[in-house]
Amino acid sequence: MQLPLIEAGHCHVDLTASPVEPSWVLEGNPEARSHVLSTSACGTAKTMIWSCTEGKFNWYYDLEETIVIIEGSVVLESESMPPKRYGVGDVIVFRRGAHAKWHVEGFVKKVAFLRLNNPLPLGFAIRAVNKLRSLIAR
């Protein structure tokens, strides 16, 4: 399936229920919602909008995720990081394998960029093929 070369989306879209894993919830009744804006052709990367109401919960990252908070705030903490509040405009990177405690104090909305990291040799091969393609396209 050929994907469009340019896609556009908006942060103010209807979000659908995307519940936090119940066993991860530590306090409250956080209600999460999301909407996928785009997916890469190979299926290893996504861009999405995600929101959540008040609550505390654990989150375990099986993909690398970069977020930009666009509304509200959250207090994050992990084994290697004391509690810290993040708000609108903050950018946070969670590496694959990370674990964080989220404390949504009222409401938070983010744009999330999720991607599966390839093993280093495969990454080099992919970059080489892409470089060859760009040289041939010229």
- The CATH code that applies to domain 16-137 is 2.60.120.10
Q: Report whether pLDDT(22) > 90.
A: yes
Residue 15, pLDDT score: 93
Domain boundaries, the chain: 16-137
pLDDT at site 122: 66
The average pLDDT across 32-41 equals 91
The amino acid present at 134, given as its one-letter code, is S
Residue whose C-alpha is closest to residue 108's, from 92, 128, 95: 92
pLDDT band at 33 (very low <50, low <70, confident <90, very high): very high
Q: Is 111 exposed, middle or buried (0-12, 13-18, 19+ CB in 10 A)?
A: middle
The pTM for the full model equals 0.81
Q: What pLDDT, in 10s, does the model give residues 42-94?
A: 788 999 999 999 999 999 999 999 999 999 999 999 998 899 999 999 999 99
Q: Going by DSSP bridges, is the β-strand pair 45-60/16-17 parallel, antiparallel, or unpaired? A: unpaired
> pLDDT digits over 93-136, tens only?
999 999 999 999 999 999 999 998 766 676 667 667 777 877 88
d(CA 134, CA 128): 10
Say yes or no to pLDDT of 29 above 90: yes
| Distance separating alpha carbons of residues 105 and 135, to the nearest angstrom | 50
